Structure 1
Amino acid sequence: MASVMEDPILERQFKGHKDAVTCADFNPNHKQLATGSVDQNLMIWNLASKARAFRFVGHKDNITGVQFSPLGDLVATSSKDRTVRLWTPCFKGESTVFKAHTATVRSVNFSHDGHRLVTASDDKSVKVWSVHRQRFIYSLNQHTNWVRCARFSPDGHLIASCGDDRCVRLWDTSTKHCINCFTDYGGSATFVDFNSSGTCLASCGADNTLKIWDLRTNKLIQHYQVHSAGINCFSFHRSNNYLISGSRDSTVKILDLLEGRLIYTLHGHKGSVLTVAFSRTGDLFASGGVDGQVLMWRTNFDTKVYRDTLTRHRQRSPPDPPPHLSDIHPCLPHLNCPQPTAIEISSVVADTQSVDPPVIELGRADYSTKCLNSQRHKSPTRVVTNGCHADGLPACHVAGPAPKTFSEGGCVNGTSSKAGSRSGAGAGRRGQTVEEEEEQEERGQTYRLEVLPSHPVGTDSTLQHIVQQLDILTQTVCVLEERLTLTEDKLKECLINQSHILQQVRGAGGKGGDGAPAHGS
Structure 2
Amino acid sequence: MASVMEDPTLERHFRGHKDAVTCADFSPNRKQLASGSADKSLMIWNMAPKARAFRFVGHQDVITGVHFSPSGNLVASSSKDRTVRLWTPSMKGESTVFKAHTAAVRSVAFSHDGQRLVTASDDKSVKVWSVHRRCFIYCLNQHTNWVRCARFSPDGRLIASCGDDHCVRLWDTSTKHCINCFSDCKGSPTFVDFNASGTCMASSGADSTLKIWDLRTNKLIQHYQVHSAGINSFSFHPSNNYVISGSSDSTIKILDLLEGRLIYTLHGHKGAVITVAFSRAGDLFASGGADGQVLMWRTNFDTKSYKDVLRQHSQRSTPDPSPHLSDIHPRGRHLHHPQPTAIQINPTVADTQSTDPRVIELGQAVHSTMILLWVWANVDGRALTWL
What TM-score do you get using the length of structure 2 for normalisation?
0.88
Q: Which aligned pairs between 1:121-132 and structure 2 lie closer than 5 A?
A: 121-132=121-132
Q: Tell me how far apart the structure 2 counterparts of residues 95 and 345 of structure 1 sit (CA, whole Å).
A: 39
Q: Give the alignment of 1:128-143 within 5 angstroms.
A: 128-143=128-143
Map residues 173-192 of structure 1 onto 2, 5 A cutoff: 173-192=173-192
Task: Please report how far the alpha carbon of residue 445 of structure 1 lies from its aligned counterpart in structure 2 after TM superposition.
Answer: 7.4
Q: What does residue 39 of structure 1 align with?
A: 39
Partner-residue secondary structure (3-state), 2:308:
helix
Distance 1:368 1:94 in 2: 6
Letter in 2 for 1:172: D
Higher RCO (C-alpha 8 Å, min separation 6): 2
CA change 1:88–1:341 in 2 (3 A) is: same
Counterpart mapping for 1:495-514 below 5 A:
none
Equivalent pairs counted in the alignment come to 361
Q: What is the Cα deviation at residue 27 of structure 1?
A: 0.1
Q: CA deviation at 1:363?
A: 2.0
- Which residue pairs with 1:26 in the alignment? 26
Describe the SS at the equivalent of 1:239: coil
Counterpart mapping for 1:397-408 below 5 A? none
Residue 150 of structure 1 corresponds to which residue in structure 2?
150
What do residues 214-265 of structure 1 show as CA deviations (whole Å, max 9, x unaligned)?
0000000000000000000100000000000000000000000001000000
Q: Which amino acid aligns with 1:357?
A: P
CA shift digits 1:474-504 (9 cap, x unpaired): xxxxxxxxxxxxxxxxxxxxxxxxxxxxxxx
**TM-score (ref. length: structure 1):** 0.66
Deviation of the 1:353 alpha carbon:
1.1
Change (3 A) 1:406 1:13: closer
Q: CA deviation at 1:53?
A: 0.5
- Distance (Å, rounded) in 2 between the aligned partners of 1:362 and 1:299: 32
Instruction: Rate the CA distance shift 1:244–1:350 in 2: closer, same or farther, 3 A.
Output: farther
- Give yes or no for contact 1:25–1:35 (8 Å, CA) kept in 2: yes
2:285 matches 1:266: no
Alignment check: 8 A CA contact 1:3 1:309 kept = no
Please give the alpha-carbon distance, in whole angstroms, between the structure 2 residues aligned to 1:307 and 1:446. 57
Matched-pair contact (CA < 8 Å) for 1:3–1:304: no
**1:170-200, Cα deviation, whole Å (9 max, x unpaired):** 0001111100000111111000000000000
Superposition pairs for residues 300-311 of structure 1, below 5 Å?
300-309=300-309, 311=311
Change (3 A) 1:349 1:36: closer
1:119: which partner in 2?
119
Secondary structure, in 3 states, of the residue corresponding to 1:357?
coil
Q: Judge conservation of contact 1:137–1:445 (CA < 8 Å) in 2.
A: no
Alignment deviations for residues 368-389 of structure 1 (CA, whole Å, 9 cap, x no partner): 88xxxxxxxxxxxxx24xxxxx
On the 8 A contact 2:93/2:367 being kept in 1, the answer is no
Report how far residue 54 of structure 1 moved: 0.4
User: Aligned runs of 1:206-221 on 2, under 5 Å?
Assistant: 206-221=206-221
- Work out whether residues 135 and 373 of structure 2, in 8 Å CA contact, stay in contact via their aligned partners in 1: no
Amino acid aligned to 1:285 = F
What are the equivalent positions in structure 2 for 1:113-512 lying under 5 Å apart? 113-309=113-309, 311-312=311-312, 341-348=341-348, 351-365=351-365, 383-384=370-371
Alignment match, 1:503: none
- Cα contact 2:10–2:352 (8 A) shared by 1: no
Aligned partners of 1:188 and 1:206 also within 8 Å: yes
Distance 1:445 1:119, change over 3 A: farther
- Describe the SS at the equivalent of 1:311: helix
Corresponding position of 1:10: 10
Residue in 2 aligned with 1:81?
81
Q: Relative to structure 1, is the Cα distance of residues 294 and 442 closer, same or farther in structure 2, using a 3 angstrom cutoff?
A: farther
Structure (1/2) with the larger strand percentage: 2
Counterpart secondary structure, 1:185: coil
- Asked if the contact 2:227–2:247 (Cα under 8 Å) also holds between the matched residues in 1, the reply is yes
Q: How does 1:47-86 map to 2 (within 5 A)?
A: 47-86=47-86
Aligned 8 A contact 1:3 1:308 in 2? no
* 8 Å contact kept, 1:136–1:445: no
Q: How far 1:303 sits from its partner (Å)?
A: 1.3
Shift of 1:160: 0.2
1:270 and 1:339 map into 2 onto residues whose CA distance is 23
Distance 1:219 1:406 in 2: 39
Instruction: Report deviation, 1:352.
Output: 2.9
> 1:91 & 1:446 partners in 2: Cα distance?
38
Percent same amino acid at aligned positions? 79
**Which whole-Å CA distance do the structure 2 matches of 1:300 and 1:26 have between them?**
17
Report the Cα distance in structure 2 between the residues aligned to 1:46 and 1:358, rounded to whole angstroms. 11
**Alignment partners' CA distance in 2, 1:117 and 1:260:** 33
Q: For residues 4 and 358 of structure 1, what CA distance do their matches in structure 2 show?
A: 33
Residue 67 of structure 1 contacts residue 109 of structure 1 at CA under 8 Å; is this kept in 2? yes
Question: How far off is 1:367 after superposition?
Answer: 7.7
Q: Distance in 1 between matches of 2:170 and 2:157?
A: 10
CA distance in 1, matches of 2:144, 2:373: 32
Q: Is the 8 A contact 2:268 2:349 kept in 1?
A: no
Q: Helix, strand or coil: the match of 1:308?
A: helix
Aligned partners of 1:261 and 1:340 also within 8 Å: no
- Cα offset for 1:58? 0.3
Q: Note the aligned Cα RMSD (angstroms).
A: 2.7
Cα contact 1:24–1:287 (8 A) shared by 2: yes
What are the ranges of 5 or more consecutive residues in structure 1 without an aligned counterpart?
316-337, 370-382, 385-404, 410-439, 448-521
How has the CA–CA distance of structure 1 residues 146 and 55 changed in structure 2, closer, same or farther, with 3 Å as cutoff? same
2:119 maps to a residue whose letter is: T
Specify whether residues 217 and 445 from structure 1 end up closer, same or farther in structure 2 by C-alpha distance, changes over 3 A only: farther
C-alpha distance after superposition, 1:447-480 (max 9, x if no partner):
9xxxxxxxxxxxxxxxxxxxxxxxxxxxxxxxxx
Which amino acid in structure 2 is aligned with residue 27 of structure 1?
S
Distance 2:235 2:117 in 1: 19
Q: Quick check: which one's helix share is greater? A: 1
Structure 1 407/146 Cα, relative in aligned 2: closer, same or farther at 3 Å? closer
